[in-house]
């Protein structure tokens, strides 16, 4: 049941996001759209309550409860960011808004990646905290699965940190278009005005 609820929460997140943005930009109902978007955190609250009730009713703590904790941590850390990103993209494509800026190149891209990593740290802290609360709640029961999810959350943070580090060590550069500013193709001799 917990896994099904995690899947339903993920699907519900994207459905509410699509409906909220459609109401905001296509139906020109910004307040109604904002109200729908504000319902997003309720999904995680429902998941948290159901997970706690499942443990309270005597369910053995296993990987499903760990998955729920990591999912809640992820949505706490990345939910608002994802909504803001989707809002900018939707406004640009369907409402004549400005094109959202990309993450850029070089130092700007490295800074962007480290900011994303900080969100992943928040995810790890929230997930580890929820998992620790579940460990204390279960008490003397089998909590090995919950502890393994804490290690998984730490690994995710570590791996994402290494990815961010690569953008610092090897900065991303713009793709070469094959033309220099004068319009000549790279490797070709520039034509004179009299040549066809």
The per-residue pLDDT for range 40-77, each reduced to its tens digit, is: 999 999 999 999 888 888 888 888 999 999 999 999 99
182 domain residue, yes or no: no
Mean pLDDT computed over 91-111: 92
Domain containing residue 110: 2-169
Written as six digits, the tokens of 156 are 């995710």
What are the two backbone dihedrals, phi and then psi, of residue 80, each rounded to the nearest 5 degrees? -65, -40
Q: What tokens does 155 get?
A: 């690994």
User: In whole angstroms, what is the distance from residue 60 CA to residue 62 CA?
Assistant: 6
pLDDT at 196 over 70: no
The verdict on residue 185 lying in a domain is no
Residue 22 has pLDDT above 60, yes or no: yes
Q: Does pLDDT of 99 surpass 70?
A: yes
**Lookup result for tokens 């961010």:** 164
Residue 142 forms part of a structural domain = yes
Threshold 0.85, pTM exceeds: no
Closest CA to 48 of 134, 124, 152, 119: 134
Give percent of the chain with pLDDT exceeding 70. Answer: 90
CA distances to 46, 115, 173 from 49, rounded to whole Å, are: 5, 30, 46
Q: What is the pLDDT of residue 1?
A: 76
In our burial notation (b when 16+ CB lie closer than 10 A, e otherwise), range 50-88 reads bbbebbeeeeebeebbbbbbbbbbbbbbbbeebbeebbe
Between CA 122 and CA 34 the distance in angstroms is 25
Q: Specify if 94 maps to a domain.
A: yes
Is the per-residue pLDDT at 186 higher than 70? no
Tell me the C-alpha distance between 168 and 88, whole Å. 27
Whether residue 181 is predicted with pLDDT greater than 90 in this model: the reply is no
Average pLDDT value for residue range 125-131: 96
For residue 179, is pLDDT > 70? no
CB neighbours of 126 closer than 8 A, spacing ≥ 6?
A: 72, 73, 76, 77
| CA-based nearest residue to 69, from 134, 122, 11 | 134
How many distinct structural domains can be found in the chain?
Answer: 1
Q: How far apart are CA 64 and CA 62, in angstroms?
A: 6
Q: Which residues pair with 179 in a beta bridge?
A: 185
């Amino acid at each position: 049941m917990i896994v099904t609820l995690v899947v339903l929460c993920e699907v519900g997140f994207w459905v509410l996001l699509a409906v909220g943005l459609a109401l905001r930009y296509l139906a020109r109902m910004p307040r109604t759209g904002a109200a729908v978007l504000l319902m997003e955190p309720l999904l995680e609250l429902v998941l948290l309550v159901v997970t706690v009730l499942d443990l309270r009713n005597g369910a053995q703590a296993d990987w499903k409860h760990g998955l729920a904790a990591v999912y809640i941590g992820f949505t706490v850390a990345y939910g608002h960011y994802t909504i803001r990103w989707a809002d900018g993209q939707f406004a640009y494509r369907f409402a004549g808004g400005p094109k959202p800026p990309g993450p850029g190149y070089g130092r700007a891209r490295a800074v962007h990646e480290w900011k994303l990593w900080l969100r992943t740290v928040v995810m790890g802290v929230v997930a580890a905290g929820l998992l620790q609360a579940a460990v204390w709640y279960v008490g003397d029961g089998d909590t090995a699965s919950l502890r393994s999810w804490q290690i998984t959350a730490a690994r995710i943070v570590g791996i994402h940190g290494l990815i961010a580090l690569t953008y610092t060590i090897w900065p991303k550069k713009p793709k070469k278009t094959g033309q220099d500013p004068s319009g000549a193709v790279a490797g070709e001799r520039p034509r004179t005005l009299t040549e066809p």
